[in-house]
Amino acid sequence: MQLKIENLTRNFNGQKALDNLSISLTNVTSLVLIGPSGSGKTTLLRVLAGLETPDAGTIRINQRPLLFDEASLHSHRKRIGVVFQGYNLFPHLSAEENIVLPLTKVHGLTREEAMARAHTLLSRFALTGHKDKKPAQLSGGQQQRIALCRTAALKPEVMLLDEPTSALDPEFTTEVLDLVHGLQKEGIELIMVTHEMGFAASAADHVIFMDQGRILANGRPEEIFKNNPNTRINAFISKVLKY
Ligand SMILES: Nc1ncnc2c1ncn2[C@@H]1O[C@H](COP(=O)(O)OP(=O)(O)O)[C@@H](O)[C@H]1O
Ligand SMILES: [Mg+2]
């Protein structure tokens, strides 16, 4: 993907969640955002998803300007897939119906087409045995994997993931990250916020470190994680990796 952000600002009650943030990236397939709590990572993802309107600044994704009038947002949201920390599934629907419903209702696929797409993904990620279960009958890890499949089924131009493992019991983290890795291998491009530094280091092709609504550093994972001269970034990384 190409991502060009210029002077992006978003205030909440006079506090700058995004503070004149700019970046220009080309040929990135897996962009990972890291940084301390409150640094603006979620706000940036929500703006990119078209769920939050900036106060100032411009964004281009793959050359196309992101505009914030209702009509533009409507078509933008159809092109972008979003998965947040938890509670992503409709509780009253089976796993399979969770994947099928947005495909038929929002994207206009026939039920047969939607079913075929759902089954391909369920089978690819060894979830077929769970297709008839409701979210409450699934573990947190299974629920989040279904949520990722549901979003991937929409074939989004870019998938935005906000700490998809942070609400999970630790034993489920790996299976969810494995699925994200599988999606990458299928060619899905993503922007992901995570505190899983091992995953960021191994799966990202570009890392952005955010602090106080700004980008403190960005580069290839090895530039960010190995012998970073920035003391603030080093302090954060050692803290996250301490135990
Ligand atoms: N809807 C909101 N209303 C008020 N303040 C918000 C809202 N969303 C985010 N903020 C504030 O913006 C800052 C950045 O938050 P956020 O983007 O959630 O950071 P991160 O995801 O890096 O933890 C924080 O100070 C947060 O309190
Ligand atoms: Mg956040």
Q: pLDDT category, 243, cuts 50, 70, 90?
A: confident
Please tell me the predicted confidence (pLDDT) of residue 226: 87
Domain ranges, residue 186: 3-241
The number of folded domains in the chain is 1
Please tell me the predicted confidence (pLDDT) of residue 228: 85
Interacting residues of 69 by C-beta distance below 8 A, sequence separation 6+ = none
- Give the CATH number, domain containing residue 220: 3.40.50.300
Measured CA distances, 233 to 5, 33, 41, 191, 239 (Å) = 22, 13, 15, 20, 10
Please tell me the predicted confidence (pLDDT) of residue 242: 83
The percentage of the chain sitting over the pLDDT mark of 90, rounded to a whole number, equals: 91
Give residue-wise pLDDT tens across range 107-116. Answer: 999 999 999 9
Mind giving me the DSSP string for 138-175? Answer: S-HHHHHHHHHHHHHHT--SEEEEE-TTTTS-GGGHHH
- Predicted confidence (pLDDT) at residue 18 exceeds the cutoff of 90: yes
- Ligand 1 mean position, distance from CA 143 (Å): 26
Structure tokens at 40: 């603006």
Mutate to test the pocket of ligand 1, among 42, 194, 214 (most ligand atoms within 8 A of CB): 42
Q: Which atom of ligand 1 is the closest one to the Cα of 44?
A: 17
- Predicted confidence (pLDDT) at residue 9 exceeds the cutoff of 90: yes
Ligand nearest to the CA of residue 10, numbered in listed order = 1
Contact indicator for 162, 86 with CB cutoff of 8 Å: no
Query: 3-state DSSP helix/strand/coil percent for the chain, to nearest 5?
Result: 40, 25, 35
Is the Cβ atom of 98 under 6 angstroms away from ligand 1?
Answer: no
Give residue-wise pLDDT tens across range 125-178. Answer: 999 999 999 999 999 999 999 999 999 999 999 999 999 999 999 899 999 999
Please tell me the predicted confidence (pLDDT) of residue 129: 98
The percentage of the chain sitting over the pLDDT mark of 70, rounded to a whole number, equals: 100
- Predicted confidence (pLDDT) at residue 87 exceeds the cutoff of 80: no
Is the Cβ atom of 22 under 6 angstroms away from ligand 1?
Answer: no
Is the Cβ atom of 194 under 6 angstroms away from ligand 1?
Answer: no
Is the Cβ atom of 38 under 6 angstroms away from ligand 1?
Answer: yes
Ligand nearest to the CA of residue 39, numbered in listed order = 1
Q: pLDDT category, 86, cuts 50, 70, 90?
A: confident
Question: What does the mean pLDDT of the chain come to?
Answer: 96
Give residue-wise pLDDT tens across range 176-209. Answer: 999 999 999 999 999 999 999 999 999 999 999 9
- The Cα–Cα gap between 103 and 114 comes to 6
Ligand nearest to the CA of residue 35, numbered in listed order = 1
- Ligand 1 mean position, distance from CA 84 (Å): 15
First to last CA, the chain: 35
Measured CA distances, 16 to 47, 102, 193, 211 (Å) = 14, 34, 19, 11
Please tell me the predicted confidence (pLDDT) of residue 20: 98
